[in-house]
A and B are shown apart, each in its own frame.
Chain A
Amino acid sequence: MSDRIQDLQKSLSEGLPQCSVEIRRHGGVELISSKENLVGVLAYLREHFGYRHLSHISCVDWLEQNQFELVYILWNYESRIQLFVKVRLARVNGSGISVRHLWPQADTYEREIAEMYGLPFDGNENPRELILEDWDNKPPMRRDFDTRAYSKEAFYDRPGREDAKDVRSVISGRSGEEIPEIAIPYTRK
């Protein structure tokens, strides 16, 4: 198995010199592409490397680096080696490129990412709503979306939860510790 993965890594590196190809620790192969090359790379993988199936498109929010990362997960039925194709995009005013023409099911994944991350796909404009209805908030899978605040606002507490206690207050109450004002902003909420 590992020999075949190494062979694949070698031939991918030769075939796609503009991409970096790494072996991931649990046996999959990871390929990093630029946005410009992405569609060509995917088509090439599909036609020449037997990656005929698109399992999923996933998205990672690299908030601190101001980037989104799309991860195309491809499957080769013959070699049974999973391939991850990654591409980094600008988080602000960035966009992905639709691959619906290669795999029709990409439509669903692209709609989901557009809805959940607010990342549009060129070639898949104005996709229909997938899960969220009348959403007017920040896309909820973005890391700067405050899930807890939303949850607090959107749902009421079920009756019977009034007896909840705060660990910090229980501990400080028990020991007689007085938490000074300067410390309060740093107390776990």
Chain B
Amino acid sequence: MEFSLKGMLNPLLALQQAGKRPHTIQFPFEEKKVAERYRGLHFNDLEACIGCGTCSTICQNEAIDMVEINPGDSENAKPGDSGLRPRVDNGRCCWCALCVEVCPSGSLSLTTHYNYVSEDANSFLWTPGVSNPDGHKELSFVSDTSHSLLDYARVPMRELEGKERIKSFAEVVLGYADEEAKKEAARCIGCSICTEVCPVHMHIPEYISAIEHGNNEDAIRIIYDNNPIGETCGKVCTRRCEEVCPLGARGEAIAIRWLKRYATEKAENAEIIREIVNPDIKPPNGKKVGIIGAGPSGLTVAYYLALRGFDVTIYEAKAKAGGMIMYGIPKYRLPLDSLDKQVEYMQSVGVKIHFNTKVGEQISFTEIEKNHDAVFIGIGYEVPYTIGIDGENLENSIQAVNFLRDINADKHVDIGNRVAVIGGGNVAIDAARVSRRLGAEVTILYRRREEDMPADWEEIEGAKHEGVIIKTQAIPLNVVDDGSGRVKGIRYGNARMVTDEKGGRPRPELIEGDEHILELYTIIGAIGQEADYSFIPEDIKEKIGFKSGRIVTNEWQQTSVPHIFAGGDIVNRTADAISAVADGYKAVKGIEQFIFAK
């Protein structure tokens, strides 16, 4: 046998492979790492998800359903959340990840997980986050706001400069141009989450979509469906809708208010509104409804009842309609002609308004009751609380609501060059900003912190831009007399905030000895208002339920006296126009039910 060295050594050659990676599969099996932005099975962060359903809407394969994880989830969810969550049919999904791209909250992602084997095709239906609770550990394709199909930045609103503003009462907000409005409207994902927190439940995604498509007239019709002062709300609404906008979670909420403003302003006068809205006015049904107060709630009741064929009369104590939106909101926020236009339109559909008719003086409540099948009270909170400290009655110590009313009625008010406003609500801010426009240096004194102020943050910012000084945790102690019965200044003390162990707002405690005097020409009190119910006869007052100074009603705004309905500030605590409109809208149904059930 021939000796072969090569044959002897050959097996040893295998050793040269020892340091190399094997070509066979490693045991135990090691999964290969996938690409950085790999698109595997879904994961959903169930806490961050608000159930807007945009994933389901965008899915071109119709692979995503919005479902309740537990029965009743959709009924029990908080406002701002539909309670639904996406469920994916992985038999239809093509992992294009459009759903992730359009997820406003960023809760939906795709994972590195790609092998899923089951003999039961129905198990392909699975709910991300529920079916893979640990999916957050293997995230791969995640949504990123810096490059997304969604536009997280709002089209900025053009405004007058702070320095320009204080020169006049010109409207501060300049409004969107057509292209700006369309661009802003196009950002909306149409989920409708916002409609629930709107007290009126306006059809927000629909009118925004109409604006996006350039159909402003449809937008106006949709807005007037349940809000007859849409233009006012487009300018001054407290817009809780924007607080829950899903885009606000990681970017800027849709400018819902400004879009409403844009659309409604397209109707330049009452005739054009009438032409566009072209309301279906029912023939007279012979029923009469008396309304006390031409504020937002009263106007809403009057408008929708008039459309339904009722004979409606509003009794208004002042010379103009609008209530607080006429006399309380400064004209740089809501110009007079805008409000006139809206009221004129309502009159054109049959709303009768008796101006300068104060109930209890020019006409008695009993007479109104006698002449109408139902009565609606919407008198608002017009009586100011006084500041209640020594010197409050000195000359030039005035009340903000009276001050704003006089200014809006074009009267001259001498506030001099140094003004302090006491209070932290929108009324206080309005009074301060108006005083700036009259040329005064203005300081706001507020007992609590800035974050406790009930005023809109935008109003607070606006005031600061205009040079209003805000002194917080400052407690007015007494008004200083100049010796001749006029205001010389205000003595105030600083406070520390103490938390309320039983819940509720932190309370300011005066720091004794830390006192200061601010020299002033005028003091404007804006600490709050209440209603004047003196026109209501005692026997009816006894029967109507009150709570914290407000009238108690059922869900249709009906008081415990069946033919008397109420709404607005005297019923709800939110103190804004949109809640008053909501009350009015509900009262319309309540009054209709009450009258026709008789």
Contact = CB atoms under 8 A, between A and B. Distances in A.
Direct A–B touching in the complex (beta carbon < 8 Å)?
A: yes
Interface in B195-228: 195-196, 201, 203, 205-207, 209-210, 213, 218, 221-222, 225
A53 interface: no
Contact of A160 (B122, B190, B191, B210): B122
Interface in B49-75: 51-53, 56-57, 60-62, 65-68, 74-75
Contacts of A152: 62
A188 B52 CA distance: 11
Contacts of B60: 147-148, 151
Given A151-B61, A167-B192, A180-B222, A186 B75 contact: no
Contacts of B311: none
B83 interface: yes
Interface residues of B, number: 44
Given A166-B66, A177-B201, A159 B122 contact: yes
Contact of B82 (A170, A176, A183): A170
B210 A186 contact: yes
A172 interface: yes
Contacts of A177: 195-196, 201, 203
A165 B222 contact: no
Nearest to B74: A170
Given A147-B60, A172-B201, A175-B195, A183 B53 contact: no
Contacts of B87: 164
Interface string A167-184: 110111011110110111
Contacts of A80: none
B196 A175 contact: yes
B193 interface: yes
B125 interface: yes
A177 B198 CA distance: 10
Contacts of B89: 157-158, 161
B91 A175 contact: no
B256 to A, nearest CB: 15
Contacts, number: 115
A164 B51 CA distance: 12
A42 to B, nearest CB: 29
Interface string B110-145: 000000000001101100000000000000000000
A171 B61 contact: no
A163 B66 CA distance: 9
B92 interface: yes
B551 interface: no
Contacts of A183: 203, 206-207, 222, 225
A179 B206 CA distance: 9
Interface of B is mostly: mixed
Contacts of B57: 188-189
Nearest to B199: A175
A186 B210 CA distance: 6
Contact of B62 (A151, A159, A176): A151
A184 B192 CA distance: 13
B84 interface: yes
A2 interface: no
Contacts of B68: 163, 165
A155 interface: yes
A188 B74 contact: no
A171 B124 contact: no
Contacts of A186: 205-207, 209-210, 213, 218, 222
Nearest to B200: A177
Contacts of A167: 51-53, 56, 66, 82, 84, 191-193
Contact of A158 (B51, B124, B209, B225): B124
Contacts of A155: 61-62, 92
Among A148, A168, A180, A187, find the residue whose CB has the most chain B CB atoms closer than 10 A: A168
Interface in B220-262: 221-222, 225
A180 B203 contact: yes
Contacts of B209: 186-188
A99 B192 CA distance: 51
Given A165-B66, A165-B84, A188 B205 contact: yes
Nearest to B59: A148
Given A147-B60, A158-B124, A171-B82, A165 B74 contact: yes
21 contacts: A155-B62, A158-B125, A161-B125, A163-B65, A167-B51, A167-B82, A167-B84, A167-B193, A168-B205, A171-B192, A172-B201, A175-B196, A180-B222, A182-B225, A183-B203, A186-B207, A187-B209, A188-B190, A188-B205, A188-B209, A189-B57
Top 9 A-B residue pairs of the complex, sorted by shortest distance between their CB atoms: A164-B65, A188-B190, A183-B206, A167-B53, A177-B201, A147-B60, A186-B209, A186-B206, A175-B196
